A and B are shown apart, each in its own frame.
Chain A
Amino acid sequence: MVRILVPLRQTVDANVVVRALPDGSGVDAQGAALVINPFDEIALEAALQQKEQGRAVEVVVASIGPAEVERALRTALAMGADRALLVRTQAQALPAAPVAAALLAALARREDAGLVLMGKQAIDDDLGMTAQMLAARLGWPQAMFAASLQLEDDSAVVVCEHDVGTRTLRLPLPCVVAADLRLAEPRFVSLANVMKARRKPLEVLDVAQVAELAGEALPAVAEPLRLLRVAEVRQRRQQQMLPDADALVRQLHQQGLWPQEES
C-alpha cells in the first residue's frame, strides 16, 4: 500500500475579492482569511478517502512557505492527515514554481511516496504548472485535471477532464495526480478533530536541508519570473437595463448579433 503525499498551499479565501496595493507592487491580502487552496483541499479529501478505503497506508501533507503556513497544515491534520511537513522559507513570498517543484520532489523521495496528489492550480496566481513540473522532475507519470481516482495494487486509474470530454488513464505507481473540482467534496472539520490535530506530528525543515537531503539541485535562478506591477481589472460595461426580450432583440439586431429575416 502506498503513502500519499499531498502538497498544499495557503491562499486567500476564494470569496475575497483582492485589491492591488496602491503602488502596484503586489496584491493586498492584509486581513483576508487564509485557507488551504481549494484544489489542494479537494486533493487532500481524495487522499483521505483512499486511506479510509484501505488503499493507502498514510497521508502526509506538506507546504512550503513562512511560519504562518503552519495554520493550513494544522487544518489539514484536523481533516485527517497523519502528519505534516513544513519547508520554512525566510521570505514571505512563496518560491517560484520550478523551485517548489524541486523541493516537493525531494520530499516525495524522502517520504518514499507512491502517489503525489495535489490541486491542479492555486487560486491566487492561477498558474497551474507545479504538478506537471514535479512529475517531470521525479520522472513519474502524471494525470492532470483528475475527476475520479481509483487506486489499485500497482497502478492508478484516473478519469481526467479534457478540452472536450474526458480521458481515462492508467498510470503505474509512483505517479502524480492533479485534482480538478469534481474529484472529491472536502469534509467539514469538527472541533474535536481540531483539538486532536494539535498533537499530530508537524516537522519543520528549512529549504537548504530539504534540497541537500535528496540531492536535488535547486534551479540556478531562484526567481525566474519577477512580478513587476499589478493592477485591478475594471470591467467597463454599459450596464443598460432593458424592459423585455423585444428590446434586447432590437439591440442585438443593431449589433449584428441576431439572425436577419431571410428574404
Chain B
Amino acid sequence: MGVEMAQAGATLLVAPADLVASVREPAVLRREVAQMLAAAHRFGQPVDIALLAGDVADARDRAEVLARLPGVRRIWLLVDARLGQWLAEPCAAALQALVVAEGHVRIIGHDSMAHRDVLGRLAGLLQAPALSDVVAVEAPEVVRRPMHAGAIVADVRIEALPVVLLVRGAAFAGAAAALLAEADDAGHEGHDAAGAEIVVLDPMPDLPVPVKLEDVMASGRDDAMPDLARARIVLGMGRGAATEPARSLLMQLARRLGAAVAATRAVVDEGLAPGDWQVGQTGKRIAPQLYVAFGISGAHQHVAGIADARVIVAVNRDADAPIFKVADFGIVADVETVLRDMLMQLPSRAEDKPE
C-alpha cells in the first residue's frame, strides 16, 4: 500500500482533559481545541472531535462551545460515569471503540500528561505508532518534533496508519487564533452555519476500571495564580531565588503581575516547589509572552521548556551562567535587589498596603 493512498481517512481530535478547572472555562476549552484543530486541518481530511465526560449534560455543554469551530464534521460524546476521572483504561477503551467503528486514521491529542497517559494506551490498543510533542505538520505524512531536550528538531514520516499525535498547543497558536476569529465573524454576521453534528456514542463498549483513584491533590498553586501552561507572564524560580527573602519577593511580584511561577528541577527536587511547577524537558513546556528567569543557571533541560517564550529575561549574579545565551535581556546582579527594584517600579494601586 503506497503512503499517498494510506493518508486518506478522517482525523479524530480528543478534547482536553477537563480535570483542570480552567479547561472548564469555555474560552480556554475553545482555544485549546482550536490549537489542535489547526494541526488537524493540515492533514486535509475531515475532522471529528471526541469529548469524554462523566455525564451527558456536561458533555453537551462543552460540545455547544465547540460546535461552531470551523471545519469540524462531527462531535462524538463519549459519556459514561467511568470516564469522568480520566483513568487511562476506560478512556482508552472508549476511544478505541469509536476509532475502530468510524475508521479514524489519525488521533490527535494535546501534549499534556492526561493525554500522554490515555492516548499512549490507546496507541497500544490500536498497535499504532505515536508521536509526542509535535510542533509542526510539514506535509500530510510528515510532522516535526524536538528530541534530545530540544537540542535537535526532527522531521518524521508517518508510514503506517492509524497514528496517534500529541501536539504542542503553543506551536499552533497563530493558526488557532485565525480559526477562532473566523468562527466569531461567522457568528457576528448572523450566518447560521450548521455547525458540527453532535452525536452520542451508543452503545458504549464494556469499560474496564481496574484502577481505583484513591486521592487527588491539588497543586501548591493558590487559586489566584494562573495556570502555568496558560499564563501570559511566567516568573522562573531557580536555586538562586528559591530561598528567603528572594522567594517571597518573587511570589509577591508574581501576584502583582498576575504571573504564574515556574521552577527548575533542582528547586523541585529540594522540595522548595511542587512537582507541577517544573518546566523543562521532563516537566512542562510553556510559551508565555514573557519569561523572567530568576537565579536560574540555564541547563539545557530547563531551556527546552521555555524556548517558545516570546521574550526571555535572565537575572543571575553569575555573568557566565548559560541562561544569558538564550535570553533577550539579561541583568548580572543580585536577584533580591532586582526583585525589590522591580516591585518598586510597579504602578501603585489603591488597595496596596505598605510593607
Contact = CB atoms under 8 A, between A and B. Distances in A.
B129 A224 contact: yes
A220 B255 CA distance: 54
A162 B215 CA distance: 12
B158 interface: yes
Contacts of B57: none
Nearest to B93: A136
A215 interface: no
Contacts of A12: 148
Given A128-B120, A171-B211, A224-B159, A260 B331 contact: no
B328 A239 contact: yes
A221 to B, nearest CB: 4
Interface string A88-99: 000000001110
Kindly name the residue among B122, B148, B221 whose own CB sees the greatest number of chain A CB atoms within 10 A.
B148
Nearest to B156: A225
B332 interface: yes
Q: B-side binding surface: helix, strand, loop or mixed?
A: mixed
A182 interface: yes
A13 to B, nearest CB: 11
Contact of A261 (B122, B163, B347): B347
Given A128-B120, A131-B120, A249 B214 contact: no
Contacts of B252: none
A163 B112 contact: yes
Interface string B105-147: 0000000111011001111110111111100000000100011
A14 B17 CA distance: 31
Contact of A128 (B88, B116, B159): B116
Interface residues on A, range: 35 or more
B142 A145 contact: no
Interface stretch (B35-43, B58-66, B189-197, B338-346): B338-346
Interface stretch (A43-51, A59-67, A72-80, A117-125): A117-125
Contacts of A191: none
B153 A221 contact: no
B281 A123 contact: yes
B282 interface: yes
Given A249-B342, A261-B347, A221 B307 contact: no
Given A163-B20, A224-B163, A239-B324, A172 B210 contact: yes
Contacts of A260: 347
Contact of A169 (B122, B211, B337): B211
B159 A221 contact: yes
Given A126-B148, A132-B123, A224-B163, A161 B158 contact: no
A249 B345 contact: yes
Contacts of A194: none
B213 to A, nearest CB: 6
Given A132-B124, A136-B92, A141 B211 contact: yes
Given A162-B114, A262-B349, A225 B341 contact: no
Kindly name the residue among A132, A220, A229 whose own CB sees the greatest number of chain B CB atoms within 10 A.
A132
Given A121-B282, A126-B147, A128-B116, A162 B347 contact: no
B148 A124 contact: yes
A17 B116 contact: no
Given A167-B213, A242-B331, A257 B148 contact: no
A141 B331 contact: no
A237 B327 CA distance: 6
Contacts of B344: 245
Contacts of A136: 92, 121-125
A118 B132 CA distance: 18
B221 A226 contact: no
A231 interface: yes
A76 B19 CA distance: 38
A20 interface: yes
Kindly name the residue among A221, A223, A246 whose own CB sees the greatest number of chain B CB atoms within 10 A.
A221
Interface string A216-228: 0001110111111
Given A162-B19, A162-B276, A242-B331, A227 B124 contact: no
Kindly name the residue among B155, B160, B346 whose own CB sees the greatest number of chain A CB atoms within 10 A.
B160
Kindly name the residue among A135, A143, A145 whose own CB sees the greatest number of chain B CB atoms within 10 A.
A135
Interface of A: 12, 14, 17-18, 20, 27, 39, 96-98, 101-102, 120-121, 123-129, 131-137, 141-145, 147, 157, 161-172, 180-182, 219-221, 223-233, 235, 237-249, 251-252, 255, 257-262
Closest 5 CB pairs of A and B: A136-B124, A132-B120, A245-B341, A133-B124, A224-B160
Given A142-B117, A166-B216, 17 more contacts: A98-B124, A132-B116, A136-B92, A136-B122, A141-B88, A141-B89, A144-B120, A157-B214, A165-B217, A180-B282, A232-B152, A235-B325, A237-B327, A242-B331, A245-B345, A248-B329, A257-B289
